[in-house]
Amino acid sequence: MPIQLLPVSLANQIAAGEVIERPASVVKELVENSLDSGADQIIIEIEQGGRRLIRIRDNGSGIPRDELALALSRHATSKIRSLADLEAILSLGFRGEALASISSVARLTLTSKPATQATAWEAWVEGQDMRAELAPASHPTGTTVTVEDLFFNTPARRKFMRTDKTEFAHIEEVVKRIALARFDVKFQLLHNQKQVRLYPAIRAEADATQRISSVCGSSFTDTALRVEEQAGSVSLSGWIAPVHACRHQADVQYFYVNGRMMKDRLLAHAIRQAYGESLQQGIGEERSPTYVLYLELPAQDVDVNVHPAKHEVRFHQARQIHDFVLHGLRSALATADSAQELMHSA
Ligand code: ADP
Ligand code: MG
């Protein structure tokens, strides 16, 4: 075959393959967009595990009418302008791929109204050329994205979706992860018209444990040790369970880097090392590290443009970050050891 440029819709479907794995990936991308738009109320409506419908409503900044079509095209973003911006990312998004990818594998409608615009407008993409159609609509300030019939035109992907229950469980996990990143935002999650989760906005730092315990359970917050570590412009905070309270399942393991949840090998290693051998307590008795942790460092000291789904990062000073995390966690865990020793000697 001679070399040819791919049709736009096919190029977008290929890009979708990297980040849109299942309904939960759509929820993640859309909720991140809502957060980037400054929303503090986000409603997530799901039908049939997300295969029928995913609808995200927010009260964020909205998209002006004349940018709606652009928002749906690939490599179009309002979040970065230059390489310098890319090297110090402050937003969750920056690739300008999510809406284009999703709309190439589902029926997507984008409805939006910025505060300064009198009426709302709606855009959707029609047919193979990905050209957007526009129509006036009714909508308060903010944005609603509706995604119907995910993977209707990509049978290979559709085959890989599991039962509604399994897909919804993945969505719930995504919502939990995001809820732990933004205490100041109210999240509502509905499945088949029934409210499944409600996380009210938390305004005061002192109330943070309310959000943590509604996401992770009070058994975690009742026993977890506070982590507070600071060195120059780098800080680590959060909660870690002492060994005796660590869970057998690896289901409370949340690590955020500048507000983004990560599955990073370097950090996982530091956490394991902080616990040392103590997690292996004989065959069948193994426990998993249990934690909710937040690492903050200057944006230019970490590269988030490593993986399309952005769950890996590269630290410019990897060794120092590893040791800083290790030290912070050891200090927190040591407070539990000394409390236990006190109890035994009393
Ligand atoms: P990215 O988030 O990487 O910029 P997306 O394809 O996810 O790319 O979104 C494209 C653009 O559409 C964003 O840069 C933003 O300007 C706009 N946008 C998307 N969702 C929203 C939203 N919920 N509220 C306001 N603007 C949005
Ligand atoms: Mg995005």
Kindly provide the ipTM of the predicted complex, given to two decimals: 0.99
According to the model, what pLDDT value does residue 32 have? 97
Average pLDDT value over all residues in the chain: 92
Query: Which residue(s) pair with 132 in the sheet?
Result: 125
CA distances from 130 to 25, 107, 150, 317 (A): 21, 11, 16, 42
State in Å: Cα 77 to ligand 1 middle.
6
Q: Can you read off the two tokens belonging to residue 111?
A: 């409805």
Per-residue pLDDT averaged across 323-336, rounded? 94
Give residue 90's pLDDT band: very low, low, confident or very high (50, 70, 90): confident
Contacts of 149 (CB under 8 A, 6+ apart): 51, 52, 106, 107
Q: Is 101 in the pocket of ligand 1 (CB under 6 A)?
A: no
The ligand 1 atom at the shortest distance from the C-alpha of residue 97 is 6
According to the model, what pLDDT value does residue 17 have? 84
Identify which of 206, 231, 327, 342 has the alpha carbon closest to the alpha carbon of residue 271.
327
Identify the residue whose C-alpha is closest to ligand 1 atom 21.
Answer: 33
Give residue 284's pLDDT band: very low, low, confident or very high (50, 70, 90): low
The ligand 1 atom at the shortest distance from the C-alpha of residue 142 is 24
Q: Is 144 in the pocket of ligand 1 (CB under 6 A)?
A: no
Q: Could you report the per-residue pLDDT of 142-159, keeping only the tens digit for each?
A: 999 999 999 999 998 999
* Residue 116: burial class (beta carbons within 10 Å; 0-12, 13-18, 19+): exposed
Identify the residue whose C-alpha is closest to ligand 1 atom 13.
Answer: 77
Q: Is 114 in the pocket of ligand 1 (CB under 6 A)?
A: no
Q: Which helix (H) or strand (E) holds 302?
A: strand 302-303
The ligand 1 atom at the shortest distance from the C-alpha of residue 145 is 23
Query: Which residue(s) pair with 255 in the sheet?
Result: 293
State in Å: Cα 209 to ligand 1 middle.
31
Contacts of 21 (CB under 8 A, 6+ apart): none
Q: Is 77 in the pocket of ligand 1 (CB under 6 A)?
A: yes
The ligand 1 atom at the shortest distance from the C-alpha of residue 101 is 6
What distance in Å separates the CA atoms of residue 216 and residue 213, rounded to the nearest whole number? 5
According to the model, what pLDDT value does residue 336 have? 78
According to the model, what pLDDT value does residue 16 have? 87
Q: Is 237 in the pocket of ligand 1 (CB under 6 A)?
A: no
Mutate to test the pocket of ligand 1, among 85, 99, 109, 117 (most ligand atoms within 8 A of CB): 99
Q: Is 79 in the pocket of ligand 1 (CB under 6 A)?
A: yes
Mutate to test the pocket of ligand 1, among 25, 78, 79, 94 (most ligand atoms within 8 A of CB): 78
What distance in Å separates the CA atoms of residue 276 and residue 65, rounded to the nearest whole number? 56
Q: What is the largest CA-CA distance in the chain?
A: 82
Per-residue pLDDT averaged across 135-140, rounded? 97
According to the model, what pLDDT value does residue 277 have? 85
pLDDT at 320 over 90: yes
Ramachandran category for residue 232: left, alpha or beta (phi over 0 → left; psi -120 to 50 → alpha): left
State in Å: Cα 159 to ligand 1 middle.
28
Nearest ligand atom owner, CA of 58:
1
Per-residue pLDDT averaged across 109-130, rounded? 91
Contacts of 22 (CB under 8 A, 6+ apart): 50, 160, 161, 162, 167, 170
- In order of their start, the domains of the chain are 8-199 (3.30.565.10), 214-341 (3.30.230.10)
Q: Could you report the per-residue pLDDT of 182-226, keeping only the tens digit for each?
A: 999 999 999 999 999 999 999 888 888 999 999 999 999 999 999
According to the model, what pLDDT value does residue 170 have? 98
Give residue 250's pLDDT band: very low, low, confident or very high (50, 70, 90): confident
